[in-house]
């Protein structure tokens, strides 16, 4: 992937750029909003990672300018402003995702990969999700594995739906907290692990191949037996 990094803090920029380049990505770096906006407007990128607070136009101003110019490149905003209101403000400005500092590189990497997989156009509305012998009918609110109907609580339903929509992808605990619950949850809580454990017990009966895999140090992935392996 070709990634544009707009970050004025030298140490943070170096940390991110080094990690992404080691993964084989091409990283262009701008250390101020003016240069970042110039690059974003004139060059094709797969993903843009921008700090919110920048000299020159700030991150949100850059995003607004890109969206007005009909540039739909996915944008991930980095910021030390972690309050819910600030995150919502960033998303409403046109950002695709939001990551509060400090963060682990594994979290950043997972979010960038998730953004890069998104289709460029608006997604078609799906009423049925399926993977192997697992099927969710979103209109009828029925989930079935094989011939067995799953009795899911509302939160378990939302959790499984999100994993189904991102089947095969590694989804971090923070991403699940934000998408399945809301921004106000403390990221140190074990609510994700508890609900994943409960969902597993309903989804995978003895003798059935497990579908929810734990990827240590990263999060979870919903996959077929030949999919993401537990590491």
Domain layout of the chain by residue ranges:
2-117, 128-222
Confidence of residue 68 (pLDDT cuts 50, 70, 90): confident
Write the class of the CATH domain 2-117: alpha beta
- Tokens standing for residue 203: 């989804």
Provide long-range contacts, Cβ within 8 A and 24+ apart, for 22-29: 23/109, 25/1, 26/1, 26/2, 27/3, 28/2, 28/3, 28/4, 29/5
pLDDT for 182 equals 63
Per-residue pLDDT tens over the stretch 101-160: 888 898 899 999 888 877 655 455 568 899 988 999 988 889 999 889 999 988 899 899
Contact status, residue 9 vs residue 32, Cβ threshold 8 Å: no
Per-residue pLDDT tens over the stretch 1-22: 899 999 999 999 999 999 999 9
Contact status, residue 136 vs residue 145, Cβ threshold 8 Å: no
- Tokens standing for residue 10: 């030298």
Per-residue pLDDT tens over the stretch 158-196: 899 999 988 888 888 888 887 887 655 555 668 888 899
Nearest 5°: phi and psi at 121?
-100, 175
- Tokens standing for residue 158: 């939302």
- Tokens standing for residue 206: 């003895």
pLDDT for 188 equals 60
Average pLDDT over residues 47-55: 92
Confidence of residue 231 (pLDDT cuts 50, 70, 90): very low
pLDDT at 213 over 50: yes
Q: Which residues contact 187 (CB under 8 A, 6 or more apart)?
A: 173, 174, 177
pLDDT at 214 over 50: yes
pLDDT for 226 equals 55
Cα distance between residue 218 and residue 220, in whole Å: 7
pLDDT at 230 over 50: no
Angle of CA points 23, 26, 30, to nearest 5°:
120
Per-residue pLDDT tens over the stretch 19-28: 999 999 999 9
Per-residue pLDDT tens over the stretch 72-92: 899 999 887 655 566 667 677
Helix (H) / strand (E) element for 78: namely strand 75-79
pTM above 0.75, yes or no: no
pLDDT at 212 over 70: yes
Helix (H) / strand (E) element for 150: namely none
128-222 fold:
Arc Repressor Mutant, subunit A (1.10.10)
């Amino acid at each position: 992937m070709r990634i544009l990094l707009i970050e004025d803090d030298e140490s943070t920029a170096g940390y991110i750029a080094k990690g992404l380049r080691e993964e084989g990505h091409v990283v262009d770096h701008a250390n101020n909003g003016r240069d970042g906006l110039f690059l974003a407007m004139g060059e094709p990128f797969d993903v843009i990672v921008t700090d919110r607070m920048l000299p020159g136009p700030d991150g949100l101003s850059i995003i607004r300018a890109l969206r007005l110019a009909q540039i739909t490149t996915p944008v991930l905003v980095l910021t030390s402003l972690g309050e819910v209101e600030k995150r919502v403000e960033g998303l409403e400005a046109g950002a695709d995702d939001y990551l509060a500092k400090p963060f682990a590189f594994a979290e950043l990497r997972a979010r960038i990969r998730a953004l890069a997989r998104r289709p460029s156009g608006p997604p078609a509305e799906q009423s049925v999700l399926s993977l192997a012998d697992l099927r969710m009918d979103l209109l009828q609110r029925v989930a079935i594995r094989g011939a067995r109907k799953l009795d899911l609580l509302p939160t378990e339903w939302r959790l499984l739906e999100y994993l189904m929509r991102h089947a095969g992808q590694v989804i971090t605990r923070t991403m699940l907290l934000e998408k399945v619950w809301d921004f106000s949850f403390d990221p140190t809580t074990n609510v994700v692990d508890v609900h994943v454990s409960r969902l597993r017990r309903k989804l995978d009966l003895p003798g059935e191949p497990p579908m929810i895999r734990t990827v240590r140090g990263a999060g979870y992935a919903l996959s077929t037996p030949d999919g993401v392996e537990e590491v």
